C-alpha cells in the first residue's frame, strides 16, 4: 500500500506497518555495508519491515577516469539523494568519506556508526608475497587513484612509482592479480575487512606512513532532515566517539575547502576525554606539506545530555546539523568543540600557507 510519500504493509493479522526503504549503491561492498545496517535496525526494531533498493551512481559508471579528475564531490551520492528527495527511499547508507562536507538542503546524516579500522592497507601482487612497501624492488608500480595516498607515499617511499587504478574493490583486486601492471595496490582496510578479505592485507599503513581520509572507515546513514520518525529511529546507531572524530575531521576539510581533488589527510583519537586531531595538506608529489595536531576536551560527551530526550520530539531544526551530522542525543557542547577543533586546526594550517599548497595541487591535477 502506498499512502502519501510512505509505503505500508499489512501482515496476516491485519496489522499495518510502515515499510522502511533503504537505498544503496549496487556494488558488493555497498550491499554488505547496507545489509549490516539493516540487520542492526532489525535487531533493535523487530517489527519494522525493511526493503533494500539498489541503484547505480555516476561514480559507478565512469570507470576510466581518475576520481580526482572528474572533480564532482557527490559522485557516489547524487542519485541516492535524488531517490531520497522523491520519497522513493527513506534512508541511504554511505561510506562517510564519500559524503561531501556540505549536504544539499533538506538532507542530514542521521547516524554515524562505530568506525572500522580507518587506515589504508597494502595488498601485494601474489608474486611479492612477504614483502612490504619498503622492500619492493625499485620502480615497482603501486596502484591508487587517491591523490592523498600518492602524495604521502611518494614522499615516504621515493623508490616506488604510483599509478591510477579505478573500479570497485573486486575490479581492483582482479586488475592486480591477473595482470603484471602493479606490484601492489593501496585500499582502505575497512572495505577489505567488511568484504571478508582480511587475508589479502599485507601491511596496514600507520599514520607516520599514510594518514587516512576524512570519515574513512565509518558508515553514515543519510535521511531527509524533516523526517523526524526516521531520524529518531536511526539515531540509536550513532557511536559517540566516531561522531565526534568525524565532525572534527569534516569541519577541518570543509574549512580547507578540500574534496576528492586535493591531498588532505587526518588522524583522530579520543583518549581520556580529549579529542586529538592531526591534519595535513600535501603537494601532489608530497615534497611540500604542512601537518599539525590540536586537542580539545570532550568530557561532556560521556554524559549524554538528558535534556536531549526532552527535545527529541521537536522538529529537527537544520541549524543543529554540524557539518551535515544531526546527533541530538549527544552533548551539543562536545559536538561544538569537535567542530571548533576542526576549524581551528584548518585555520592554523591556512595561516602557514595551506591555501597555496592546495591551490597548486588542484591546478596541477586539473592540468594532468
Q: What is the distance between the alpha carbons of residues 124 and 109, in angstroms, rounded to a whole number?
A: 35
Q: What is the distance between the alpha carbons of residues 95 and 215, in angstroms, rounded to a whole number?
A: 8
How open is the CA angle 283-288-291, to the nearest 5 degrees?
95
Q: What is the distance between the alpha carbons of residues 166 and 62, in angstroms, rounded to a whole number?
A: 9
Q: What is the distance between the alpha carbons of residues 184 and 176, in angstroms, rounded to a whole number?
A: 7
Q: Would you call 196 exposed, middle or buried from its count of C-beta atoms within 10 A (0-12, 13-18, 19+)?
A: exposed
Phi, psi of 250 (to 5 degrees): -65, -35
Radius of gyration of the chain measured on its C-alpha atoms: 21
The candidate with the shortest Cα–Cα distance to 157, out of 203, 189, 190, is 203
- C-alpha cell, 156: 615516504
User: What single DSSP character describes residue 75?
Assistant: T
- C-alpha cell, 114: 562505530
Pairing, β 6-10 against β 16-25: antiparallel
Pairing, β 161-163 against β 141-143: parallel
Handedness of CA 149, 169, 101, 62 (dihedral sign): positive
Active site (annotated) includes residue 229: no
Which DSSP string do the residues of 137-179 spell out, in sequence order?
Answer: PTT-EEE---HHHHHHHHHH-TTSEEE---S-HHHHHHHHHHS
| Catalytic, out of 39, 47, 90, 98 | 98
CB 290 within 8 A of CB 354: yes
Phi, psi of 96 (to 5 degrees): -60, -30
Active site residues: 98
Amino acid at each position: 500500500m502506498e499512502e502519501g510519500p510512505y509505503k505500508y504493509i499489512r501482515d496476516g493479522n491485519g496489522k499495518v506497518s510502515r515499510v522502511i526503504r533503504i537505498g544503496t549503491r549496487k556494488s558488493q561492498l555497498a550491499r554488505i555495508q547496507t545489509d549490516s545496517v539493516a540487520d542492526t535496525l532489525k535487531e533493535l526494531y523487530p517489527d519494522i519491515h525493511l526493503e533494500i533498493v539498489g541503484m547505480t551512481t555516476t561514480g559507478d559508471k565512469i570507470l576510466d577516469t581518475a576520481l580526482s579528475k572528474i572533480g564532482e564531490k557527490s559522485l557516489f551520492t547524487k542519485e541516492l539523494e535524488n531517490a531520497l528527495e522523491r520519497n522513493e527511499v527513506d534512508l541511504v547508507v554511505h561510506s562517510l568519506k564519500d559524503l561531501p562536507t556540505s549536504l544539499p538542503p533538506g538532507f542530514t546524516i542521521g547516524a554515524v556508526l562505530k568506525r572500522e579500522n580507518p587506515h589504508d592497507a597494502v595488498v601485494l601482487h601474489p608474486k611479492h608475497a612477504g614483502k612490504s612497501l619498503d622492500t619492493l624492488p625499485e620502480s615497482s608500480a603501486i596502484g591508487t587513484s587517491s591523490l592523498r595516498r600518492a602524495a604521502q607515499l611518494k614522499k615516504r617511499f621515493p623508490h616506488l612509482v604510483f599509478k591510477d587504478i579505478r573500479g570497485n574493490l573486486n575490479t581492483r583486486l582482479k586488475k592486480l592479480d591477473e595482470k603484471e601492471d602493479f606490484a601492489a595496490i593501496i585500499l582502505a582496510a575497512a572495505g577489505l575487512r567488511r568484504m571478508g578479505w582480511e587475508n589479502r592485507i599485507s601491511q596496514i599503513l600507520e599514520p607516520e606512513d599514510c594518514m587516512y581520509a576524512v570519515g574513512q572507515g565509518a558508515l553514515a546513514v543519510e535521511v531527509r532532515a524533516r523526517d523526524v520518525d526516521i531520524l529518531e529511529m536511526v539515531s540509536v546507531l550513532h557511536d559517540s566517539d566516531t561522531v565526534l572524530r568525524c565532525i572534527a575531521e569534516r569541519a577541518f576539510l570543509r574549512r580547507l575547502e578540500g574534496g576528492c581533488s586535493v591531498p588532505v589527510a587526518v588522524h583522530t583519537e579520543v583518549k581520556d576525554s580529549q579529542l586529538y586531531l592531526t591534519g595535513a595538506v600535501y603537494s601532489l608529489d608530497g615534497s611540500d606539506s604542512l601537518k599539525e595536531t590540536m586537542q580539545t576536551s570532550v568530557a561532556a560527551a560521556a554524559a549524554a545530555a538528558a535534556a536531549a530526550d526532552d527535545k527529541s520530539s521537536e522538529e529537527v531544526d537544520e541549524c543543529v546539523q554540524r557539518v551535515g551530522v544531526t546527533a541530538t542525543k549527544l552533548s551539543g557542547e562536545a559536538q561544538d568543540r569537535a567542530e571548533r577543533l576542526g576549524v581551528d586546526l584548518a585555520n592554523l594550517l591556512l595561516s602557514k600557507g595551506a591555501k597555496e599548497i592546495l591551490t597548486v595541487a588542484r591546478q596541477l591535477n586539473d592540468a594532468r
